[in-house]
Structure 1
């Protein structure tokens, strides 16, 4: 049992947009009578239901009881705009609204798409790459979710739905106003808001979206640099088994520590050419990526401005030439930058855990930091205190 109607607005922009929705496959949503919902309404809101029913009956009675019109004119007036509006308002009250997200869905991940990069001589494109990573994550999650159970859109005081069997992809979906989609299997909502020039904002809302994010970000690596930044995959030229035996033994210790600890910091040092950077790449590819870690490779320009994304559960940060970044603060060179303090805060986690944001996704992160340096003599002593760096090893053999 259902009730719905169209208003006549031929030639108006609103009607043109509505016709565009209909032409692209959207269909008017007919509110269905739910006896369970009506019974609950009668039980919990009897007074309001009675009042609205009386108001509707009064409107219909006034229409039918006009003495200055013929009886057939009064019947025709039943379907006038005013009467239909009152009937529709009452029908909307006694029938359940289309499904929509509520306060239960506290895991929120949002991205604008496509991401726009603002180029400036004085800026490092860190924000652009991190935004690009977030866009990739959201779009990959949507790909994993596949076809939703429902797709709805509210426009011009009407609810529309898109037949899910006709759904192809989100880019081809006509979005004029806010669109909602729902996957009952995962209890996840998608909200799409249109912007100008074809841009959109996608917002995922869920009770627990972390498992899907972990799948979506598998095998990702991000290089953040003042020269070039990109999102891709870790490349390792030398497998771990090609390193000297002592380094392979140290790698086994690192792997065990990764499995046992939520946070791990490793420093490897040695002369140039001993394979320190190649080792971090091999560890990232062979040990950390299979465990679901997202790899961030930071240079000296990026380290001072990097904040780990809170929606990622497992993060590995690779810092090469740490002795040029986390220098002893007693030296004159270290007085002119804050990179030492920033690396210390990454090791401690204090900079990001001191204030908890109520919005978005807040999870207990697992963090691995791999640092290389030519010598530990220039490192700030605070870095080497117990509790900050867990494992340290010197590379002594030339590695080709």
Structure 2
């Protein structure tokens, strides 16, 4: 078989700073990139809190507490992902579930410390869950929703216990009720979205399998799984060009199962199909990985032997004939015996392939009329 070496392209060069920050290509870099995508939302929150603190709507210590918690959490996640520890700690190297739980706790911290943020806490919480919804399992989404709701109720009860004058009971009751409804709707939407995502993944897998089958059918014979004639013609043309370019010989051989019609007549066509498949398997095992084999038509096979002189081709064909001859065919049908005849030809430089195939076919004719179960070789 002609093996075409892959064309190698230079990978895009990255600066040492980028490599140091983002990490090596693979799960580590993907996890860091996922974390970087969340930074604009954190930055927006930080700017908003600082502006509110500057205008006197929020106490500086409250802003410092929320921002400090935010920075510490992001820093911890970055270290875990960048060092690769996240892969050892969790199946998801981006730590999506852990980050969503952290975001929920951050929202609850802001809810407890900053009264001005309580009206936006629910929306903020939903956004943090939706951002990583596709990366969470159904169980993880339920855990996040239940934990967030439990934290919200706990924070409200704590505020009522510590500083009841700082909270509007009716407004907080509405917030908790809306959180119940919103989180339930979010669970339903998440379930539907994940169902659609799984359906699409299943469709993609099925499509890939179908494409693989179609590709196999386009180059393989359905019965023997050898190359079919149409695809093998492409391999032959490539070998002719390669031989002319490199000035190296190659041989082709046409092999035919002796008295195959008799096999079908005496043992049935089902046994004939078994013989074709078994002969194909024996030939593949005998020729080695550097040669290519096709079902050329009916009970005929075509063997391509790149960079092979005629003497070496004869040795290969003798081994092939011996493997078929010595196989225990009685296991497939009582009294069954199978042999091969072959005609081989070494391709001549400067010629197209048609004369070579014609000479191989004539050599096969001589082998069959000379007693069968033999090899006849000629040179173009």
Task: Quickly name the TM-score band, shorter chain normalised.
Answer: under 0.3
Decide which structure has the larger Cα Rg and report it.
2
- Give the structure-2-normalised TM-score: 0.25
- Give the structure-1-normalised TM-score: 0.24
Give the helix-richer structure, 1 or 2: 2
